[in-house]
Amino acid sequence: MASLIPSMRLGAVGRQDFLSVCHKCLCRRPQSVPSRALQLLRQSRRHGTTIATATTATAIKRPTLPPAFFSTVSASLMSTAAPAVSKASTRAFPEVTSSKSVAYWLLGSAASVFGIVVFGGLTRLTESGLSITEWKPVTGSLPPLTQEHWESEFERYRASPEFKMLNSHMDLAEFKKIYYMEWTHRLWGRVIGLSFVIPTAYFIARRRVSVPMACTLAGISGLIGFQGFIGWWMVKSGLKDDLFAPGSHPRVSQYRLTAHLATAFVCYSWMLLAGLSVLRNRRLLANPANAMKLVETLKHPAITPLRRSVTALTALVSTTVLSGALVAGLDAGLIYNEFPKMGLGLTPPASELWDKFYSREEDRSDLWWRNMLENPSLVQLDHRILATTTFCSVLALFVYARRGRVASVLPKDARKGVTGMVHLVFLQAALGISTLIYMVPIPLAAAHQAGALALLTGSLVLAHRLRIPRSTLRLIQKRLAAMPK
């Protein structure tokens, strides 16, 4: 009995509020009005109870609910679920992508594309690109595992024009070397595709990226798949017997090689700019006040001509890179191995530059553009002119950024970007001239291709530092307005 006293006391304390209220006050309390669905349910139950008590039948029939009840219930459920669905859809994607993991993953993917571009150049320079004569996106991930499989692959390579005209002396051991070069290049491409597509699906499914970034990632994923198709389309052109001239070097089409390299450069640039944008958004939104100061600085009238010049310079660097792809596709670096002259003068004779041999129309209407794209002498001259123009343009940009009002308002990181461009263009010019003079040795040629991508990287980074998109500006203004004054 003594043990029940404390619990009784607690129960009494817990009921004090209820006992201290009189009956009249309880009756005056407002009561919640039941919903229409609940009223119909209660009426139906009362109706059923009346029928059950009035009848003497042994079987009791269940009350039949009126149709208005179901329509009311469904409407109430829909009205309750609709806000939840709309709320989930509005919060499906963040307003801005600011995750460091997304940024570092994009930059890491760009670095991998940079590496495969250089390795692809090595594959071409070692004449390994035509060693695999079939395209098997799934089953081709594994190399031949038995001696029988190796013999089968080697037999297919023996039927190619490259083996018949260049490598007829090659044995199986030598074939394995060039095979592994091309197989590694293709495997690297598959790894890039999987390591990008799978995280893309994860980031989009888990709402880790904004809608524009999700579209960007989906576009890059599609471009990676398209790049694999372009690669095989290029290789296929080197497996045909209809070479340009009898006895010429078996090689892939210079047009398809240029398309393959251009797609790789676009993919790399897209990844790089997307990763840099995420990091910049994160940095600017962390301090909106300083971000607005940077916006006002970049809006200065003196910066506008510089921004346009950097955009034009980026286009010039890209054009020079594509010109270099034509030089590589035609082996045009193996002629006129001197600089700055080409033979007896700065340019070869006009009759050599505009040779009628390359025209395929009777009226010679294609003489100009076919010589510019298929004549090794003119293709090399075009590349020299574009490279020299790029070199002088970078130096002119450096001088312009160091003088007048531009120097006083140019942000520090943009000034460093201009200086970096100067260093890169000097290095690239030295690599290009050395590659030409020494007749395209493999190490120098691969370094020259890497230098081209590095110079394009410097140009893209500089352009990125001089421009803030309007979407980012709106977010900065929104964050600044939300800050307490």
Q: Under DSSP, is residue 63 helix (H, G, I), strand (E, B) or coil? A: coil
> How many residues can be counted in the chain?
485
Give the confidence band of 303 by pLDDT, cuts at 50, 70, 90: very high
For residue 291, the SS3 value is helix
pLDDT at 207 over 60: yes
* Cα atoms in the 13 Å half-sphere on the side-chain side of 97: 27
Instruction: Give the tens place of pLDDT for each residue, 460-484.
Output: 999 999 999 888 888 888 888 877 7
Task: Give the model's pLDDT for residue 479.
Answer: 82
Q: What is the pLDDT of residues 430-441, one digit of tens each?
A: 999 999 999 999
CB 203 within 8 A of CB 102: yes
The conformational region for residue 343 under phi > 0 = left, psi -120 to 50 = alpha, else beta, is: left
The pLDDT, as a whole number, for residue 485 is 64
Q: Which residue do the tokens 């030089």 mark? A: 327
Dist. CA 365–CA 359, nearest whole Å? 8
pTM equals 0.79
Whether residue 381 is predicted with pLDDT greater than 50 in this model: the reply is yes
Residue 393 scores a pLDDT above 80: yes
Query: Of 272, 177, 199, 228, which is closest to residue 464 (Cα–Cα)?
Result: 272
Confidence at residue 62, expressed as pLDDT on a 0 to 100 scale: 47
Residues 130, 185 contacting (CB under 8 angstroms): no
CB neighbours of 276 closer than 8 A, spacing ≥ 6?
Answer: 103, 107, 461, 464
Q: What is the pLDDT of residues 83-138, one digit of tens each?
A: 544 444 455 677 777 788 999 999 999 999 999 999 999 999 998 999 998 888 87
* CA proximity to 385, closest of 359, 356, 358, 348: 348
